[in-house]
Structure 1
Amino acid sequence: MSTKLPIIVVTGFTREVRTVERPGIVAIAGGGAPAQLEQALDAAATVGARGIVSYGLTGGLAEGLRIGDWIVGDRLTGAIDHTCDTAWRDAIAAALPGARVGAFFADGRMIDTVAEKRALGERHGALAVDMESHIAAKVARAHGLPFAIVRIVSDEVGHLLPHAITVSMRPDGGFDREAMRRSLADDPDQMRDVVQTMAQFATGFRGLRRGARLLGDGLACPV
């Protein structure tokens, strides 16, 4: 039996957690609740870990990225500037054929216009955005742990998540179907975009499961 410490995996939705669950993994969903996420990550890191990786769906900030493309972080900008562990980055990229390596942006906000997505990508030289990586990086830095980001594109730079999707994440990372229904009742014209977005998410979740298998038990962590 392995005596190695676990890898801490940070996601947004609990459904992302399920794509990577296995022995040696401590997966924690952020659920759009940063203080709660930081507390949970700090507790897990205090017990002991080999490293922290931000894993899950991501929104593209650069032209040319398509649904299902893998992005591996080399640095993070936004709420915190942090360089990803180079050995872990390279091992992840080698395990995921076609993966793009580049910067992520994260400051906890839900980016609410296509114009801002494009502007953030250009201003920061970032390929993608998520809502958890800055918390994960903060905790990794505090505990002196290697940090990595590997995420799969579930919406392109020219696509804006509809309101019914943005209100559907519960603080525990679950999916709030009632909030989605209320939003759709208020604005039924969202339906087509919601259906498209859910199909994109489904593609992303399938990719996350395949990616977890390709990365192996330690998610390619070289430590």
Structure 2
Amino acid sequence: MKLGMGDETSADRPIDPRPVLVVTGLVQEARIAAGPGMMVICSSSDPKQLRSLLTVFDPTSIRGVVSFGVAGGLDPSLKAGDIVVATEVTAGDARWLSGMSLREEHIARAALKKRRVVRGVLAGAEEVVVAQARKAALRMKTGAAAVDMESHIAAAYAAEYGLPFAALRVISDPAHRTLPSLAKDAIKPNGA
């Protein structure tokens, strides 16, 4: 699946030739997102590493930011494989609206194989949220549909530089599932 911005084909504006920056946590996500018009950064699911990568990145070289990859489910109605398109991202007291619309045909393509697509809030976390009880508490506190470790950083970066932002995340572990403790350390430093 390739991602795109909603206003690319406007007849009254020239097409911006700069790529969209796609922020991922895993190497496999980066491979999926890579393609023409995309510049991909893989954080290896390490928020510190992502922040470091973004400090040396030139924001004038891109036309928008998309957070893409997997997320933990917080909404009990979401199943593994459901897709969440962010309406906003929250972390602590901060909130960022999704200001870049993903084109409906791209969302429809993502929904192939009868995957459900919902729009909702994404919560940002600094570490993998493994316990069912922590997921429930985060849901209660934020009202978020899902949690990931990159979207809040990507949203803050986009806001800082006045760039459009969007996020598309696939539920990997539903709200009712507690992940094994090894999930916190399973990701290698290279994002594999």
Note the alpha carbon deviations across 1:198-218, whole angstroms, 9 max, x for none: xxxxxxxxxxxxxxxxxxxxx
The amino acid that maps onto 2:169 is R
Counterpart residue number, 1:134 = 152
Over the matched positions of the two proteins, sequence identity in percent amounts to 34
In the superposition, the TM-score normalised over structure 1's length comes to 0.70
The amino acid that maps onto 2:131 is T
Q: Which runs of 5+ in 2 are unaligned?
A: 1-14
- Runs (4 or more) in structure 1 with deviation over 6 Å come to none
Q: Higher Cα Rg: structure 1 or 2?
A: 1
For residue 37 of structure 1, the aligned residue among 50, 53, 56 is 50
* Separation (CA, whole Å) in 2 of partners of 1:27 and 1:173: 13
For residue 15 of structure 1, the aligned residue among 10, 22, 28 is 28
In the superposition, the TM-score normalised over structure 2's length comes to 0.81
Q: Rate the CA distance shift 1:168–1:84 in 2: closer, same or farther, 3 A.
A: same
The amino acid that maps onto 1:112 is V
Counterpart residue number, 1:81 = 95
Note the alpha carbon deviations across 1:167-208, whole angstroms, 9 max, x for none: 11123312xxxxxxxxxxxxxxxxxxxxxxxxxxxxxxxxxx
Asked if the contact 2:16/2:63 (under 8 Å) is kept, the reply is no
1:50-129 to 2 correspondence within 5 Å? 50-79=63-92, 80-85=94-99, 87-89=100-102, 91=104, 93=107, 96-97=110-111, 98-129=116-147
Counterpart residue number, 1:147 = 165
Note the alpha carbon deviations across 1:92-132, whole angstroms, 9 max, x for none: 54554441001010131222321110121122110000011
Q: Rate the CA distance shift 1:44–1:150 in 2: closer, same or farther, 3 A.
A: same
Matched residues, number: 172
* Separation (CA, whole Å) in 2 of partners of 1:89 and 1:121: 25
Counterpart residue number, 1:195 = none
1:25 and 2:38 equivalent?
Answer: yes
Q: Which runs of 5+ in 1 are unaligned?
A: 175-223
Tell me by how many angstroms 1:37 deviates.
1.0
